[in-house]
Homo-oligomer: A and B are copies of this chain.
Amino acid sequence: MQNRITELFQTKHPIVQAGMIWASGWRLASAASNAGALGLIGAGSMYPEVLEEHIIKCKKATDKPFGVNVPMLYPDIDKIMKIIIDQGVKVVFTSAGNPKTWTSTLKENGITVVHVVSSVKFAMKAQDAGVDAVVAEGFEAGGHNGRDETTTFTLIPMVREQIDIPLIAAGGIATGSGMLAAMVLGADGVQVGSRFVASEEASSHIKFKEMVVDAREGDTMLTLKELAPVRLLKNKFFSDIQELYKKGPSTDELKSLLGRARAKRGMFEGDLEEGELEIGQISGLIHDIKPAAEIIKDMVNEFEEAKSRVKTL
Protein backbone atom coordinates (compact mmCIF):
# COMPACT_ATOMS: atom_id res chain seq x y z
CA MET A 1 0.00 0.00 0.00
CA GLN A 2 1.39 3.33 -1.11
CA ASN A 3 -0.11 6.68 -0.22
CA ARG A 4 0.85 10.20 0.91
CA ILE A 5 2.14 8.95 4.25
CA THR A 6 4.32 6.14 2.90
CA GLU A 7 5.69 8.58 0.33
CA LEU A 8 6.39 11.23 2.96
CA PHE A 9 8.23 8.85 5.29
CA GLN A 10 9.54 6.42 2.67
CA THR A 11 8.04 3.50 4.59
CA LYS A 12 6.31 0.33 3.48
CA HIS A 13 3.20 0.88 5.63
CA PRO A 14 1.34 4.05 6.68
CA ILE A 15 1.90 3.12 10.31
CA VAL A 16 3.81 5.21 12.85
CA GLN A 17 5.02 3.69 16.11
CA ALA A 18 4.42 6.46 18.63
CA GLY A 19 7.36 8.06 20.43
CA MET A 20 6.23 7.34 23.99
CA ILE A 21 8.14 8.23 27.15
CA TRP A 22 9.80 5.30 28.92
CA ALA A 23 8.79 2.94 26.11
CA SER A 24 10.13 4.14 22.78
CA GLY A 25 13.90 3.81 22.78
CA TRP A 26 16.17 2.74 19.93
CA ARG A 27 15.21 -0.94 20.26
CA LEU A 28 11.52 -0.34 19.63
CA ALA A 29 12.03 2.39 17.01
CA SER A 30 14.51 0.33 14.97
CA ALA A 31 12.33 -2.79 15.21
CA ALA A 32 9.29 -0.85 14.00
CA SER A 33 11.26 0.76 11.16
CA ASN A 34 12.79 -2.56 10.13
CA ALA A 35 9.28 -4.01 9.95
CA GLY A 36 8.10 -1.34 7.51
CA ALA A 37 6.53 1.20 9.86
CA LEU A 38 8.02 4.53 10.91
CA GLY A 39 9.70 4.00 14.26
CA LEU A 40 9.92 6.96 16.62
CA ILE A 41 12.26 7.50 19.53
CA GLY A 42 10.48 9.31 22.36
CA ALA A 43 12.74 12.17 23.49
CA GLY A 44 10.32 13.22 26.24
CA SER A 45 11.91 10.96 28.86
CA MET A 46 15.53 11.40 27.74
CA TYR A 47 18.33 13.77 28.71
CA PRO A 48 20.02 15.16 25.57
CA GLU A 49 23.00 12.82 25.82
CA VAL A 50 20.69 9.82 26.29
CA LEU A 51 18.74 10.80 23.20
CA GLU A 52 21.96 11.13 21.23
CA GLU A 53 22.97 7.63 22.25
CA HIS A 54 19.56 6.25 21.21
CA ILE A 55 19.77 7.96 17.83
CA ILE A 56 23.26 6.58 17.20
CA LYS A 57 22.17 3.05 18.20
CA CYS A 58 19.01 3.31 16.11
CA LYS A 59 21.03 4.28 13.03
CA LYS A 60 23.18 1.21 13.56
CA ALA A 61 20.16 -1.04 14.05
CA THR A 62 18.24 -0.01 10.96
CA ASP A 63 18.91 1.44 7.52
CA LYS A 64 15.24 2.39 7.26
CA PRO A 65 13.87 5.86 8.07
CA PHE A 66 13.05 6.56 11.69
CA GLY A 67 12.17 9.70 13.62
CA VAL A 68 12.18 11.39 17.00
CA ASN A 69 9.18 12.66 18.95
CA VAL A 70 9.98 15.92 20.74
CA PRO A 71 7.70 17.62 23.27
CA MET A 72 8.69 21.23 22.65
CA LEU A 73 8.17 22.28 26.26
CA TYR A 74 11.27 20.24 27.06
CA PRO A 75 13.71 22.41 29.06
CA ASP A 76 16.74 21.47 26.92
CA ILE A 77 14.86 21.88 23.66
CA ASP A 78 17.73 23.72 21.90
CA LYS A 79 20.23 20.98 22.72
CA ILE A 80 17.72 18.30 21.69
CA MET A 81 17.07 19.91 18.31
CA LYS A 82 20.80 20.43 17.68
CA ILE A 83 21.47 16.74 18.32
CA ILE A 84 18.63 15.75 15.99
CA ILE A 85 19.95 17.98 13.22
CA ASP A 86 23.60 17.02 13.75
CA GLN A 87 22.77 13.32 13.77
CA GLY A 88 20.91 13.62 10.48
CA VAL A 89 17.54 12.40 11.77
CA LYS A 90 15.09 12.47 8.86
CA VAL A 91 11.76 12.91 10.64
CA VAL A 92 10.70 14.90 13.72
CA PHE A 93 7.29 14.74 15.39
CA THR A 94 6.77 17.82 17.55
CA SER A 95 4.14 18.12 20.25
CA ALA A 96 3.19 20.27 23.24
CA GLY A 97 4.14 23.68 21.90
CA ASN A 98 3.82 26.10 19.02
CA PRO A 99 4.63 24.47 15.66
CA LYS A 100 5.93 27.82 14.37
CA THR A 101 8.88 27.76 16.76
CA TRP A 102 10.88 24.95 15.15
CA THR A 103 9.28 23.93 11.86
CA SER A 104 11.26 26.20 9.53
CA THR A 105 14.61 25.46 11.19
CA LEU A 106 14.00 21.74 10.95
CA LYS A 107 12.79 21.91 7.37
CA GLU A 108 15.79 24.03 6.35
CA ASN A 109 17.84 21.08 7.57
CA GLY A 110 15.97 18.68 5.32
CA ILE A 111 13.86 17.21 8.11
CA THR A 112 10.26 16.13 7.60
CA VAL A 113 8.18 17.76 10.33
CA VAL A 114 4.95 16.40 11.76
CA HIS A 115 3.04 18.12 14.54
CA VAL A 116 0.74 16.39 17.02
CA VAL A 117 -2.58 18.11 17.79
CA SER A 118 -5.80 17.28 19.58
CA SER A 119 -8.12 19.86 18.03
CA VAL A 120 -9.15 21.29 14.67
CA LYS A 121 -7.86 24.73 15.60
CA PHE A 122 -4.35 23.48 16.28
CA ALA A 123 -4.39 21.29 13.19
CA MET A 124 -5.03 24.42 11.13
CA LYS A 125 -2.28 26.31 12.97
CA ALA A 126 0.15 23.45 12.30
CA GLN A 127 -0.70 23.47 8.61
CA ASP A 128 -0.17 27.25 8.56
CA ALA A 129 3.20 26.75 10.24
CA GLY A 130 4.29 24.66 7.26
CA VAL A 131 4.47 21.18 8.77
CA ASP A 132 4.45 18.24 6.38
CA ALA A 133 1.71 16.31 8.17
CA VAL A 134 -0.44 16.40 11.26
CA VAL A 135 -1.14 13.75 13.86
CA ALA A 136 -4.66 14.26 15.24
CA GLU A 137 -4.93 12.45 18.54
CA GLY A 138 -8.25 11.63 20.18
CA PHE A 139 -9.40 11.63 23.80
CA GLU A 140 -8.95 7.84 24.10
CA ALA A 141 -5.18 8.14 23.68
CA GLY A 142 -2.87 7.31 26.57
CA GLY A 143 -0.71 9.86 28.32
CA HIS A 144 -1.05 13.58 27.75
CA ASN A 145 -4.15 14.65 26.02
CA GLY A 146 -6.06 17.67 24.74
CA ARG A 147 -8.43 19.93 26.63
CA ASP A 148 -11.32 19.67 24.15
CA GLU A 149 -11.69 15.92 24.89
CA THR A 150 -12.56 15.30 21.25
CA THR A 151 -12.51 11.62 20.32
CA THR A 152 -10.74 9.99 17.40
CA PHE A 153 -14.06 9.11 15.75
CA THR A 154 -15.14 12.75 15.58
CA LEU A 155 -11.76 14.52 15.48
CA ILE A 156 -10.48 12.84 12.33
CA PRO A 157 -13.33 13.83 9.97
CA MET A 158 -13.47 17.35 11.47
CA VAL A 159 -9.73 17.86 10.98
CA ARG A 160 -9.88 16.28 7.51
CA GLU A 161 -12.53 18.82 6.55
CA GLN A 162 -10.22 21.73 7.42
CA ILE A 163 -6.73 20.73 6.30
CA ASP A 164 -5.23 19.47 3.05
CA ILE A 165 -1.89 18.09 4.22
CA PRO A 166 -1.47 14.39 5.15
CA LEU A 167 -3.33 13.41 8.32
CA ILE A 168 -2.30 10.69 10.74
CA ALA A 169 -4.93 9.43 13.20
CA ALA A 170 -3.95 8.55 16.76
CA GLY A 171 -5.82 7.42 19.85
CA GLY A 172 -7.55 4.06 20.13
CA ILE A 173 -5.81 2.35 17.21
CA ALA A 174 -4.24 -1.05 17.90
CA THR A 175 -5.56 -3.30 15.12
CA GLY A 176 -5.86 -3.44 11.36
CA SER A 177 -9.61 -2.83 11.68
CA GLY A 178 -8.89 0.29 13.68
CA MET A 179 -6.41 1.36 11.00
CA LEU A 180 -9.01 0.91 8.26
CA ALA A 181 -11.70 2.68 10.28
CA ALA A 182 -9.39 5.65 10.82
CA MET A 183 -8.70 5.81 7.09
CA VAL A 184 -12.42 5.58 6.30
CA LEU A 185 -12.88 8.59 8.59
CA GLY A 186 -10.31 10.55 6.58
CA ALA A 187 -6.82 9.68 7.86
CA ASP A 188 -3.94 8.86 5.52
CA GLY A 189 -2.11 6.86 8.16
CA VAL A 190 -2.15 5.90 11.82
CA GLN A 191 0.02 6.41 14.86
CA VAL A 192 -0.08 3.48 17.26
CA GLY A 193 1.00 3.83 20.87
CA SER A 194 -0.47 1.49 23.51
CA ARG A 195 -0.16 -1.60 21.27
CA PHE A 196 3.63 -1.01 21.08
CA VAL A 197 3.96 -0.60 24.85
CA ALA A 198 3.02 -4.29 24.92
CA SER A 199 5.85 -5.15 22.53
CA GLU A 200 8.98 -7.08 23.40
CA GLU A 201 11.20 -4.21 22.34
CA ALA A 202 9.51 -1.47 24.38
CA SER A 203 11.72 -0.31 27.23
CA SER A 204 8.69 -0.25 29.54
CA HIS A 205 8.96 -2.42 32.65
CA ILE A 206 7.64 -5.95 32.12
CA LYS A 207 5.19 -5.54 35.03
CA PHE A 208 3.72 -2.48 33.32
CA LYS A 209 3.47 -4.36 30.01
CA GLU A 210 1.64 -7.18 31.80
CA MET A 211 -0.74 -4.71 33.43
CA VAL A 212 -1.50 -3.26 29.97
CA VAL A 213 -2.27 -6.77 28.70
CA ASP A 214 -4.57 -7.40 31.69
CA ALA A 215 -6.38 -4.05 31.36
CA ARG A 216 -10.04 -4.08 30.40
CA GLU A 217 -12.54 -1.55 29.12
CA GLY A 218 -12.98 1.14 31.79
CA ASP A 219 -9.56 0.67 33.41
CA THR A 220 -8.15 4.04 32.28
CA MET A 221 -9.28 7.58 33.01
CA LEU A 222 -8.27 11.10 32.03
CA THR A 223 -7.21 13.03 35.11
CA LEU A 224 -5.06 15.90 36.46
CA LYS A 225 -6.81 18.24 34.05
CA GLU A 226 -5.78 21.29 36.10
CA LEU A 227 -2.10 20.48 35.44
CA ALA A 228 -2.00 18.77 32.05
CA PRO A 229 -4.72 16.23 31.22
CA VAL A 230 -3.27 12.72 31.22
CA ARG A 231 -4.87 9.30 30.70
CA LEU A 232 -3.75 6.79 33.32
CA LEU A 233 -4.39 3.21 34.28
CA LYS A 234 -6.35 3.09 37.53
CA ASN A 235 -3.93 2.08 40.28
CA LYS A 236 -3.18 3.22 43.82
CA PHE A 237 -1.67 6.49 42.60
CA PHE A 238 -4.80 7.14 40.53
CA SER A 239 -6.98 6.42 43.60
CA ASP A 240 -4.87 8.83 45.62
CA ILE A 241 -5.57 11.53 43.02
CA GLN A 242 -9.31 10.78 43.22
CA GLU A 243 -9.21 11.02 47.01
CA LEU A 244 -7.43 14.35 46.83
CA TYR A 245 -10.01 15.65 44.33
CA LYS A 246 -12.77 15.05 46.89
CA LYS A 247 -11.12 17.74 49.04
CA GLY A 248 -11.16 20.37 46.28
CA PRO A 249 -7.36 20.59 45.99
CA SER A 250 -5.37 23.58 44.76
CA THR A 251 -3.11 23.19 41.73
CA ASP A 252 -0.13 23.20 44.10
CA GLU A 253 -1.61 20.33 46.10
CA LEU A 254 -2.08 18.33 42.92
CA LYS A 255 1.49 19.10 41.84
CA SER A 256 2.72 18.08 45.24
CA LEU A 257 0.93 14.71 45.05
CA LEU A 258 2.26 14.12 41.54
CA GLY A 259 5.76 14.95 42.67
CA ARG A 260 8.66 14.14 40.40
CA ALA A 261 9.52 11.09 38.31
CA ARG A 262 6.18 9.32 38.90
CA ALA A 263 6.04 8.27 35.25
CA LYS A 264 9.52 6.75 35.34
CA ARG A 265 8.71 5.04 38.62
CA GLY A 266 5.63 3.39 37.17
CA MET A 267 6.34 2.68 33.53
CA PHE A 268 10.11 2.15 33.61
CA GLU A 269 10.77 0.91 37.13
CA GLY A 270 7.57 -1.13 37.41
CA ASP A 271 6.11 0.36 40.59
CA LEU A 272 2.49 -0.38 39.74
CA GLU A 273 1.19 1.08 43.02
CA GLU A 274 2.87 4.45 43.30
CA GLY A 275 3.85 5.02 39.68
CA GLU A 276 2.07 7.00 36.95
CA LEU A 277 0.93 4.50 34.32
CA GLU A 278 0.09 6.17 31.00
CA ILE A 279 -1.89 4.08 28.54
CA GLY A 280 -4.83 4.43 26.15
CA GLN A 281 -8.39 3.07 26.35
CA ILE A 282 -7.59 0.54 23.63
CA SER A 283 -5.44 -1.34 26.18
CA GLY A 284 -8.66 -3.27 26.86
CA LEU A 285 -8.25 -4.85 23.42
CA ILE A 286 -4.55 -5.75 23.83
CA HIS A 287 -4.06 -9.30 25.07
CA ASP A 288 -0.42 -10.21 24.50
CA ILE A 289 3.15 -8.99 24.37
CA LYS A 290 4.61 -9.52 20.91
CA PRO A 291 7.65 -8.44 18.92
CA ALA A 292 7.06 -5.13 17.15
CA ALA A 293 7.46 -6.80 13.77
CA GLU A 294 4.64 -9.19 14.59
CA ILE A 295 2.40 -6.34 15.74
CA ILE A 296 2.94 -4.60 12.40
CA LYS A 297 2.51 -7.79 10.34
CA ASP A 298 -0.70 -8.63 12.18
CA MET A 299 -2.05 -5.09 11.75
CA VAL A 300 -1.37 -5.18 8.03
CA ASN A 301 -3.02 -8.61 7.68
CA GLU A 302 -6.04 -7.52 9.73
CA PHE A 303 -6.23 -4.37 7.60
CA GLU A 304 -6.49 -6.49 4.44
CA GLU A 305 -9.08 -8.77 6.09
CA ALA A 306 -11.10 -5.75 7.16
CA LYS A 307 -10.96 -4.43 3.58
CA SER A 308 -12.30 -7.77 2.34
CA ARG A 309 -15.15 -7.64 4.85
CA VAL A 310 -16.10 -4.18 3.60
CA LYS A 311 -16.68 -5.63 0.14
CA THR A 312 -19.33 -7.93 1.59
CA LEU A 313 -21.31 -5.10 3.23
Asked whether, in the complex, the Cβ of B313 is within 8 Å of the Cβ of A281, the reply is: no
A309–B281 Cα distance when bound, in Å, is: 28
A216 to chain B: closest residue by CB: B120
A10 within 8 A of B: no
Which residues of chain A from 174 to 229 have a CB within 8 Å of any chain B CB?
Answer: 175, 177-178, 180-186, 216-218, 221-222
A148 within 8 A of B: yes
Asked whether, in the complex, the Cβ of B150 is within 8 Å of the Cβ of A281, the reply is: yes
Which residues of chain A from 150 to 185 have a CB within 8 Å of any chain B CB?
Answer: 150-155, 157-159, 161, 171-173, 175, 177-178, 180-185
Which residues of chain A from 261 to 313 have a CB within 8 Å of any chain B CB?
Answer: 280-282, 284-285, 306-307, 309-311, 313
Asked whether, in the complex, the Cβ of A157 is within 8 Å of the Cβ of B285, the reply is: yes
Asked whether, in the complex, the Cβ of A154 is within 8 Å of the Cβ of B284, the reply is: yes
- In the assembled complex, how far is the CB of residue A238 from the closest CB belonging to chain B, in whole angstroms? 14
Asked whether, in the complex, the Cβ of B313 is within 8 Å of the Cβ of A1, the reply is: yes
Asked whether, in the complex, the Cβ of B178 is within 8 Å of the Cβ of A120, the reply is: no
A132 within 8 A of B: no
Asked whether, in the complex, the Cβ of B180 is within 8 Å of the Cβ of A184, the reply is: yes
A248 within 8 A of B: yes
With beta carbons under 8 angstroms apart, the residue of B120, B140, B218 that contacts A284 is: B120
Chain B residues with CB under 8 Å of A307's CB are 310-311, 313
A60 within 8 A of B: no
Q: How many A residues are at the interface, by size bracket? A: 35 or more
Asked whether, in the complex, the Cβ of A178 is within 8 Å of the Cβ of B152, the reply is: no
A149 within 8 A of B: yes
A138 within 8 A of B: yes
Instruction: Give a binary string over A116-143; 1 marks a CB under 8 Å from any B CB, 0 the rest.
Output: 0001110000000000000000111000
With beta carbons under 8 angstroms apart, the residue of B1, B148, B217, B284 that contacts A217 is: B148
- A217/B119 contact (C-beta < 8 A), A139-B139, A307-B313 known: yes
A180–B313 Cα distance when bound, in Å, is: 9
With beta carbons under 8 angstroms apart, the residue of B119, B154, B310 that contacts A285 is: B154
A99–B266 Cα distance when bound, in Å, is: 39
Asked whether, in the complex, the Cβ of A310 is within 8 Å of the Cβ of B139, the reply is: no
Asked whether, in the complex, the Cβ of A181 is within 8 Å of the Cβ of B155, the reply is: no
Asked whether, in the complex, the Cβ of A181 is within 8 Å of the Cβ of B158, the reply is: no
- A183/B313 contact (C-beta < 8 A), A121-B217, A217-B119 known: yes
Asked whether, in the complex, the Cβ of A177 is within 8 Å of the Cβ of B185, the reply is: yes
22 A-B residue pairs with Cβ-Cβ distance under 8 Å, sorted by A, are A120-B217, A140-B150, A149-B222, A150-B217, A150-B281, A151-B152, A151-B172, A151-B281, A153-B282, A154-B172, A154-B217, A154-B282, A154-B284, A157-B175, A158-B217, A158-B284, A177-B184, A177-B186, A181-B184, A181-B185, A184-B184, A307-B313
Further 16 A-B residue pairs, CB within 8 A, beyond A153-B153, A154-B280, A307-B310: A119-B218, A120-B217, A120-B218, A139-B151, A140-B150, A140-B154, A151-B152, A151-B172, A153-B178, A154-B217, A154-B282, A155-B217, A158-B284, A180-B184, A181-B181, A184-B309
